[in-house]
Amino acid sequence: MRSPVLDPRQFDWTLAAFTATLAAHLLWLPPWFAAFLAGLLVARWLQRRVYARAWPVWIKLPLVGVVLTLVVFEFGNPFARQAGTAALIGLCTLKLIESERRRDGLLIMTVTLFLVSVQFLFNQGIGITLYMLLPTLLVFLALNEIAAPPGTRGGLASQIGSLGRELLLLLAVVLPLTLFLFVSVPRLSEPLWGTRENQWEARTGLSDTMSPGSITELLADDTPVMRVRFPDGPPARSSMYWRGPVLWRFDGTTWSRAYLGNPQMREGRVDGPQDGAADDLRYEVTAEPSDRRWMLTLDFVTGFPQGANRSLDGSLVRERPISSVYRFTARSHPDAPVPVERFASTQRRFGLELPPGLNPRSLRLAQSWRRELGDDPRALVERALRHIREGGFGYSLSPPPLVGAHRMDEFLFETRLGFCEHYAAAFVVLMRGAGVPARVVTGYLGGSYNRIGAYWVVRNSDAHAWAEVLVDGRGWVRVDPTSAIAPERIDQSGAFAGGDLGRDWEWLRSLRERVDAVQAWWNNHLVRFDHLHQQDFFSGLGIDTGDWKQLGVFIAGGLAGIGLLTAALFWLQRRRMPGDPALALYRQFLRRLRRQGLQPGASEGANDFGRRAAAALPALAQPIAEVVGAYEAARYGRIGDAGLPRLRTALAAFRNASNRKG
């Protein structure tokens, strides 16, 4: 038997459920690929308004090739997680252009439910979690519509009304089971799916390279990078320099960490755990997923957890990328120079290298300072800062582009307008030209205090770059050349970038803090519920996770309790279900006949049993036939409850006749 054809209503429900799920995946799908799929869905919906017919094969097969080619072109490895998910979404979209029967709709809804769960491999935020309730509900409504005979549903209101009681009952059963499984199922220390494989899934954040314009993109992004608590009180906001990648190598255009491959740089690291000094500043960091290994900490970090190491240049690096919400405790000695612990000559050499033949005017200026002031790094630093402060420089988030071969010369002698990465890069070039080892440090500066959650939020909009110079006897000393610009020279064109919007409006700031506090709670209590938190949970219940007997008793007791709860709910539901009055009257009739030694067989219907009872009791044949006929009419006929009076009358006549016979 062929599957029934989907009517327009059933098709629209199927399309709506899939489209709502696809909308969630737009957060990571390439925009042009998502636009292509959306175009196919719109074209299919418009075509089906005209006539219900699948697209011909000569259109479908080329589209399959186009989708698979685009996936491979965009994602590279076709077996990677993103590529596989994108291919599945694309093929499911193509399935909709040929879906005309019920089995097609059921298949698409099955895949759609799978795509709902796959979304959480890409985003586990509370916002997307709440949104995914919508496509999930639409899928079940679509399944309800598809499973019903065509024309038997009366719209969304009638569907929700008919499903309301069943939905509440399922929630009452599923929620306790979900909570039990959430706390009981063994947790992994790292996400099962590991890190992301391509640029489209990479998180926005600092990179291990810096070129003009790279930090500008972050300054316009208000996404949280981490949340920080200071149990003993925070330092001054001006001391909140969150250290990220340290950039040594400059090729004339881009700064990079290329020297990390040097064996001495690897050997100079310090592995955790490190406790730090008791009087160092202690703080707790909850880092958002970045898919990168560095851990942002205040300078100079002295205490850090196991699984991390402090590199020779003072950056804290984790052994594995941060692919999920990660919390750690650290200690720092704020504003302390980064000591030269090992390989001083190597660090000095790396801190003086410049690309040959580039930026000659900058080098001549720096060398003139060297001849004037000698080799005192403090004096040379102050001379460079004075040059920036008094040289007509300005601050802008949209400076003129630097396009020539001598870009630092362009900035220092022509445009003189830029932001932190321009000033940090130019300052380091000047210092190296003057014979002072220097390097660029990227990270974040400051943060905003959340009064609701009592923590500091560091966002991408707080991204910053500064410099460090090597001072004999002290180490690498921080210098922030951006701070040398006079306030009246700052171009305010980017004042609202980076999350300042709303800071002057108390109600908007309060709302923003509350929303972020909810997200922080979600991260701390649900997303971060890993194997360590699971052990703490069981320990609070007095259960040793290493004792399988205790765990077995807990799991068995939990499952038994949920089973009893489920049975009780269904029993109450059954008791509240309206009875069948026709069946109740018929059972009274059967009890009367049972006294006569007659009862229906296991598969014997009312009509067959009535004929057999009439043959066995000829004197009651007519009343028996009247009862059976009235029962079938009341229960199975179109008259429904209208036939109950006739059934009651026939049953009363049967009782009277049975009593007279008795």
- For residues 458 and 456, give the distance between their C-alpha atoms in angstroms, rounded to a whole number: 7
Q: Taking a C-beta distance cutoff of 8 angstroms, is the pair 421, 212 a contact?
A: yes
User: Peptide bond before 273: cis, by omega within 30 degrees of 0?
Assistant: yes
Cβ-contact 68, 93 below 8 angstroms: no
- Are 246 and 441 within 8 A, CB to CB? yes
* Per-residue pLDDT at 573: 66
User: In angstroms, rounded to a whole number, what is the distance separating the alpha carbons of residues 74 and 658?
Assistant: 84
Give pLDDT, residue 607.
86
Supply the pLDDT for residue 662: 61
pLDDT (0 to 100) of residue 248:
92
469: which strand partners? 438, 477
Q: Provide the annotated active-site residues.
A: 420, 464, 480
CA separation, residue 404 to residues 253, 370, 400, 411, 498 (Å)? 9, 27, 12, 10, 29
Structure tokens belonging to residue 639: 């008259």
Beta bridge partners of residue 467, listed in sequence order: 440, 479
Q: What are phi and psi of 107, to 5 degrees?
A: -65, -45
pLDDT of residue 205: 66
Closest CA to 229 of 479, 453, 561: 453
How many of the other CB atoms lie within 10 Å of CB of 14? Answer: 26
H-type alpha helices, 375-435: 377-390, 407-410, 420-433
Residue spans per domain, the chain? 8-153, 581-661
Coil vs helix vs strand at 255: strand
User: What averages of pLDDT result for each successive group of 10 residues across the chain (662 residues)?
Assistant: 78 91 88 89 87 82 87 76 86 88 89 89 80 89 76 49 62 79 70 44 66 65 89 90 93 82 72 89 92 90 93 90 88 91 89 94 95 92 93 85 89 90 94 96 91 90 92 93 66 41 63 79 72 72 75 83 82 65 84 86 84 87 88 74 80 85 64
Distance CA 191, CA 214 (A): 29
Give the CA count within 13 Å in the CB-facing half-sphere of 486: 9
CA dihedral 535, 539, 542, 543 (to 10 degrees): 10
- Check residue 490 and report its DSSP letter: B
494's tokens: 């980017």
First to last CA, the chain: 54
Query: What pLDDT is recorded for position 586?
Result: 84
Structure tokens at 462: 């707080």
Phi, psi of 506 (to 5 degrees): -60, -40
What lies within 8 Å, CB to CB, of 462 at 6+ separation is: 225, 242, 444, 445, 446, 447, 498, 499
- Residue 300: phi and psi, rounded to 5, are -100, 130
Distances (CA, A) of 243 to 325, 335, 427, 443, 568: 19, 11, 18, 5, 57
